[in-house]
Amino acid sequence: MSWDQLTQGFAAAMEVQTTMAAHWAGALSSALLGAIFAAGTATLVGMPMTRLMVLRDGTTGAARDALTRYLANPTRVRSRWLVGRIACTALTAVLIGKAVHSLNEAWALPIAVLGTLATYGLLTEISTSVARRCPSRAAPLLLRLLYPFELVTIPIAWPLELVARLSGKLLPQPAEDARLREHEVGLLLAEGQLDGSLEEERAQMLQNVLEFEDLMAVEVMIPRTSVTAIDAETTLEEALRIISSNGHSRYPVFRDSVDNIVGLLYAKDLFRVIDDTDLRSAKVGGLTRSPVNFVPETKPVSVLLREMRARRLHMAVVVDDYGGVAGIVTLEDIIEEIIGDIQDEHDVEEDPFVELSDGGVLVDAAVPIDDLADFLGTEFPDEGDFFSLGGWIIHRAGRVPEAGAEIEAWGMRFVVREADERKISKVEIHRKDGQTVPPRAEVEPVAST
């Protein structure tokens, strides 16, 4: 072999190696760009629009401009990124095929396919995982990084976008799910609490507003057994003692039976006539205001609030399916569902959960069953129409149990400590394994028997 032939062979080999290296470098670059397109799409699709709006309002400069551009037309940006991702994938396959073609023509196609899948898949997984670790930072960064490449895709993406827009006009638009938006806001509240940007009290108030629409009158009412009602035949002198003892400003007035509410007694009306009325002979019925606002147990609280505001009412009487009085709802009760408990000069704040020296806990039987479940760290199965711990025990026992009665469930023992013929007042809870109830009992709920 002559020197010229050897030199030419070496030059040809170097050219092949250089070309192959260029093809591999191009394939990796193309796969990486496609993976970044995929990461950007996954990041933005996974973020609720409300969160992106909040993120935009909290940023400035180029990041704010990038988010504003995306929010103006998300479909346009995502369609361009889709074209870019497809183009990068195709280019990666072509370059890998060219890189291995000179080595083995028969295996060029399968190697190109498998190489593209492996390279693109690995880079996509890595880039997507990194972006999702901090989507609030990744979203504006990716929008700015991909914008120059996005412009290159316009000649192909624009016709596709036009077709999508026309097909969208021809097809009926599905109604927007309001609950989805509520879910998005709930996620924002949770994130705000986690990163410390939203105080717990404010977050709870906003969460209460979200849940307000789902509340019914029966869930916020004062139950019948806790209502102080006055007989219409009661003297004003006795009524004055009742008012002094309870400290409320309004009282339901009944005739013959609590199920027959005939009006309301306002404390201020009684105070006005103290000086010029014989309190020993005058009856409450003479000062009763009517009509009474009767509402069913299933009345939405949001609707009830609007009605009470429109009619300037402060109290409504809740009736059950049979027309009997189930309880009362006051304007204060409704407002407390949003802003939390309101303590006035007559209220004595009492913790519904009192830890005992033996490791148990003494619980107010009126505590909502959901609050008790949160405290215990377990769940109560939906097995009946009850809202409180006392209601659950009565449901399980089939009657109002006497003091000392016990019920075992979910690895715990519930002991009735205070009760009368109508209701349960206090319940002790102990873990069967002898450990303290707080910290929360880690038990699995079981089906009731």
One domain, residues 143 and 197: no
Domain boundary among 170, 203, 230: 170
Tokens representing residue 436 in the block? 């303290």
Segment 34-91, tens digit of pLDDT: 888 888 888 888 787 777 887 888 788 888 888 888 888 888 888 888 888 888 888 8
Q: Which residue has the tokens 């705000």?
A: 192
Domain with 370, as residue range(s), is 353-431
Residue 445 belongs to a domain = no
For residues 150 and 421, which has the higher predicted lDDT (pLDDT)?
150
Residue 231 belongs to a domain = yes
Whether pLDDT at 360 is above 70: yes
Residue 113 belongs to a domain = yes
pLDDT mean across residues, the chain: 78
CATH (domain of 421): 3.30.465.10
CA distances from 364 to 37, 357, 361, 425 (A): 57, 17, 10, 6
pTM exceeds cut of 0.75: no
Distance of CA 357 to the CA centre of its chain: 36
Contact 266, 250 (CB under 8 A): yes
For residues 150 and 175, which has the higher predicted lDDT (pLDDT)?
150
Tokens representing residue 363 in the block? 């619980």
One domain, residues 164 and 185: no
CA distances from 272 to 43, 230, 232, 241, 276 (A): 67, 19, 18, 16, 9
Q: Which of 104-118, 226-240, 328-342, 364-378 has the lowest mean pLDDT?
A: 104-118
Segment 344-359, tens digit of pLDDT: 555 555 678 888 877 8
One domain, residues 361 and 389: yes
One domain, residues 250 and 324: yes
What's the pLDDT band for 161 if we cut at 50, 70, 90?
A: confident
One domain, residues 324 and 381: no
CATH (domain of 304): 3.10.580.10
Contacts 24+ apart (CB under 8 A), 13-20: 16/102, 19/98, 19/102, 20/99, 20/102, 20/103
One domain, residues 55 and 149: yes
What average pLDDT does range 291-319 have in this prediction?
A: 91
One domain, residues 206 and 268: no
Residue 6 belongs to a domain = no
Residue 85 belongs to a domain = yes
One domain, residues 238 and 187: no
One domain, residues 189 and 151: no
Residue 444 belongs to a domain = no
Cα dihedral 194/195/198/203 (nearest 10)? -10
Looking at the chain, the whole-number percentage of residues with pLDDT higher than 70 is 78
pLDDT the model gives residue 116:
72
Domain boundary among 339, 361, 377: 339
Segment 246-278, tens digit of pLDDT: 888 899 999 999 999 999 999 999 988 888 888
- How many other CB atoms are found less than 10 A from the CB of residue 14? 10
Looking at the chain, the whole-number percentage of residues with pLDDT higher than 90 is 13
One domain, residues 408 and 378: yes
What average pLDDT does range 125-130 have in this prediction?
A: 80
One domain, residues 49 and 131: yes
Q: Report the candidate in 280, 198, 197, 207 with the shortest Cα–Cα distance to residue 237.
A: 280
One domain, residues 315 and 278: yes
Residue 440 belongs to a domain = no
pLDDT the model gives residue 183:
64
Residue 448 belongs to a domain = no
CA angle 33, 35, 38 (to 5 degrees): 115
Please tell me the distance from the alpha carbon of residue 77 to that of residue 31, in angstroms, as a whole number: 20
The domain tally of the chain equals 4
